[in-house]
A and B are shown apart, each in its own frame.
Chain A
Amino acid sequence: MTLAQAPAPAEVEEPPRPRRGRSGAARVARIPYAFVVPALLLYGLVVLYPTVAGGVYAFTDWTGRRVAPTFTGLANFAELLAAPAARSALKNTLLIALSTTVLQTVLGLALALALHSSLRSRHLLRTLFFAPALLPPVIVGFLWQYILTPQGPLNEALGAVGLSALQQNWLGDASIALASVIGVIIWQNAGLTMVIYLAGLQGVPAELLEAAEIDGASRWQRLRRVTIPLLIPATTIAMSLTLIGSLKLFDQVYVMTGGGPGYATETLSVVMYKEAFVSGRYGYAAAIALVLTMIVFAFALVQLRGLRRFEVDS
């Protein structure tokens, strides 16, 4: 997730101000901590306690039976690095995260630039490109599972336009199944990145672009030197959102391939789910989840720092 700015009230609807004077925090009644209690209880119950417990169980051989788990140190992590399913999941998770983040950012930016223009159909096109982002991932998964079957619509369409050389067993061939999954994720979420960039583009002053044009900057130079640097905040938001979401990827993979063929499309979330709820190996599953958590935090930190530095430089 991202630590973006929430929309300030001024952007939405400025409430009329009452008479000023006697201002200052001291005058406002001390708000009792009771206000935060319901939220804290629920958050503690659903997120804090289970997360900490999971972090502890990651170092045990817990199976969920009513036998006390024994502490096994780093054994789960050693197994994770040796087991083919988990190793493949680790590699795939990183590959999916990096490639969707890069490709979706580029595609989302391209769509936003094309639709932040005077095209007559821009409103309709924005609505269409964003629509998949609202669909339940389970449904998107099944829809594409059918589209990508060997005798399915995609291969038939390729055949119909004379591209039968490109026909594939999209989800059944271990060498391209992961690429197919990545394609589906990008199809579903590119509109979200586009929408974030469209909001960012509203903050690029037209006068600045006009001034650059008068100074003889080409279209590409205006994009490279004016627009894109001003879009860094939007880029930070869009990239962190995509990165963290794709690291946790579960739904589409689980319904489309279940991690197969072989281990070709396993992700950490899918392996973790199977180990926990199919094999009942709670301790090992918790170790996989802990690795996932560490990766999310590491990426979030790196990305935040990297983009901050870039923001200052440009």
Chain B
Amino acid sequence: MSAATGVRSTRARRLTTGIAAELGMIVVALLFMFPFYVFLSVALKTPADLAASPLSLPTDPAWANFADAWQRGGLEQALINSAVVTALSVAGLVVCGSTAAYLLARRAQRLSLGLYLVFLLGLMIPLQLGMVPLYQLMRDANLLQTYTSLIIFEVGHQLPLVIFLYTGFLRALPREYEEAARVDGAGPFTSFWRIVLPLLRPITGTVVILSSINIWNDFLTPLLYVGGSAQQTLPVAIFAFRGEFASQWQIIFAGMGIAILPILVVYFLLQKYIIKGFASGIKG
């Protein structure tokens, strides 16, 4: 065999293994996607279709399931509630988190280092331990069944993650801009607002993405605080929905489809940033 044909056959072999690997991964991915197939096909089935086979494709797509779920499930209000709670909590997190991290990153004193460690502890402490005392605080303050209770909770609960992200970023950020502003006579608040906050934009993006997803999907505390009220968020509404529609799985799945649609749309638009945010290995 000449050298040339040897090279060609190695190439050919590489190409075949490449194609085999590609096909293999696609098969794995299809198996992995099976639940999504079930999700979509059940959401589009008529009760008769579903009774005949949970696995088959819908014979005639029952789009009415979505309208049904939307009208009967009170999902519209839940969608608004989730949007309000998430947006306000994230805004609070960006403000409180960035200012606190600015101090923690820039003042190398025993007190500020100690405070930083206290905040980091929050990454580990299970919320279960404080769950009852906090619930009672909210009840005694008459805040149960309000947006306020959830927003206060979500900001406090996500702060360790946010402070961790901001502090790490700030420690690597050069101080020259702030020094220049100081020379020009700017006080700490002015230079934070005018100089530092704009420089934090990349990490603020990560903070917004991670905390939005964590808060949007949160279930346990919202169930306790706003469950059964007009203020309930989407996961809580879906939980109630499942109880209400018991075995009408096609309606339940249509309702769940409506609930995850915003997440999927945002994911496909911003997937590069979302994946990058999660790749840092942080999740609240």
Contact of A43 with B278 at beta-carbon distance under 8 Å, contacts A8-B168, A29-B187, A54-B129 already known:
no
Q: Are B102 and A6 in contact (CB under 8 A)?
A: no
Question: Within the complex, which residue of B137, B203, B283 is in contact with A241, where a contact is CB–CB below 8 Å?
Answer: B283
Q: Report the nearest A residue to B136, measured CB to CB.
A: A64
What are the residues of chain A within 8 A of B145 when measuring CB–CB?
A: none
Q: Are B103 and A31 in contact (CB under 8 A)?
A: yes
Q: Are B129 and A289 in contact (CB under 8 A)?
A: yes
Q: Are A134 and B238 in contact (CB under 8 A)?
A: no
**CB interface residues, A 142-188, toward B, < 8 Å:** 142-144, 146-147, 149, 151-153, 156-157, 160, 187
What are the residues of chain A within 8 A of B283 when measuring CB–CB?
A: 192, 241, 245
Q: 0/1 per residue, B22-47, Cβ < 8 Å to A?
A: 10011001001111101100100000
Flag whether A248 is at the interface (Cβ < 8 A): yes
Q: Are A39 and B132 in contact (CB under 8 A)?
A: no
Q: Are A192 and B54 in contact (CB under 8 A)?
A: no
Q: Are A153 and B54 in contact (CB under 8 A)?
A: yes
Flag whether B120 is at the interface (Cβ < 8 A): yes
Question: Within the complex, which residue of B32, B161, B199, B238 is in contact with A187, where a contact is CB–CB below 8 Å?
Answer: B32
Q: Are B203 and A39 in contact (CB under 8 A)?
A: no
What are the residues of chain A within 8 A of B126 when measuring CB–CB?
A: 247-248, 269, 289, 292-293, 296
Flag whether B202 is at the interface (Cβ < 8 A): yes
Q: Report the nearest B residue to A292, measured CB to CB.
A: B126
Flag whether B80 is at the interface (Cβ < 8 A): no
Q: Are B18 and A9 in contact (CB under 8 A)?
A: no
Q: Are B281 and A50 in contact (CB under 8 A)?
A: no
Q: Are B35 and A45 in contact (CB under 8 A)?
A: no
Q: Are A244 and B129 in contact (CB under 8 A)?
A: no
Contact of A18 with B176 at beta-carbon distance under 8 Å, contacts A55-B129, A138-B235, A142-B252 already known:
yes
Flag whether A297 is at the interface (Cβ < 8 A): yes
Q: Are A289 and B128 in contact (CB under 8 A)?
A: yes
Flag whether A97 is at the interface (Cβ < 8 A): no
Question: Within the complex, which residue of B133, B220, B278 is in contact with A192, where a contact is CB–CB below 8 Å?
Answer: B278
**CB interface residues, A 260-305, toward B, < 8 Å:** 268-269, 272-273, 276-277, 282, 285-286, 288-290, 292-293, 296-297, 300
> B interface vs A, CB < 8 Å?
18, 21-22, 25-26, 29, 32-36, 38-39, 42, 53-55, 92, 95-97, 99-100, 102-104, 106-108, 111-112, 115, 118-120, 122-134, 136-137, 152-153, 155-157, 159-161, 163-169, 172-180, 182-183, 187-188, 191-192, 199, 202-203, 206, 213, 216-217, 219-220, 224, 234-235, 238-239, 242, 249, 252-253, 256, 259-260, 263-264, 267-268, 271, 274-276, 278-284
* Closest CB pairs A-B (n = 5): A46-B156, A6-B168, A50-B130, A1-B123, A237-B281
